[in-house]
Amino acid sequence: MSKQEISDQEIKADLMNRLFRKHCWGAKYLPLDTLKRWISKRIRDGKRLDRLVRQLVNEDYLILHKGGKTVSLNPRRSKEISEYIRRFIA
């Protein structure tokens, strides 16, 4: 599978899964640059990643910290996040 064949939903699920595995909920956050570097091994388009992160923040799945430089999962949406990850990552 080439890098461009990965769907937006799969990338979103992968972003949230990486935060999930690191237990980054609420006040425990991860630098956004680090998260992008991990994902860039699967997809090279940085603008697409920025757009998808922005969509997850607008959908209230992610919380931005420190002026948008760090990110964590929204603990109020934990059930929906785990279902989303299960649906798109098999």
CATH number, domain of 17, equals 1.10.10.10
Residue 23 in domain: yes
Report pTM: 0.87
Residue 1 in domain: no
The pLDDT of 43-64, averaged and rounded, is 91
The pLDDT of 8-35, averaged and rounded, is 94
Please state the φ and ψ torsions of residue 30, each to the nearest 5 degrees: -130, 140
Residue 44 in domain: yes
Q: How far apart are the first and last CA of the chain?
A: 15
pLDDT of residue 1: 42
The pLDDT of 78-87, averaged and rounded, is 96
Residue 51 in domain: yes
Residue 50 in domain: yes
pLDDT of residue 90: 67
What is the domain count for the chain?
Answer: 1
Check residue 69 and report its DSSP letter. Answer: T
Residue 22 in domain: yes
Residue 13 in domain: yes
To the nearest whole percent, how much of the chain has pLDDT over 90?
Answer: 71
Q: Which helix (H) or strand (E) holds 47?
A: helix 46-58
Nearest Cα to Cα of residue 25 among 84, 71, 79, 89? 71
Q: Are 73 and 25 in contact (CB under 8 A)?
A: yes
Residue 2 in domain: no
At residue 3, does pLDDT exceed 60? no
**Which tokens go with 88?**
């798109």
The residue segments making up the domain with residue 30 are: 7-88
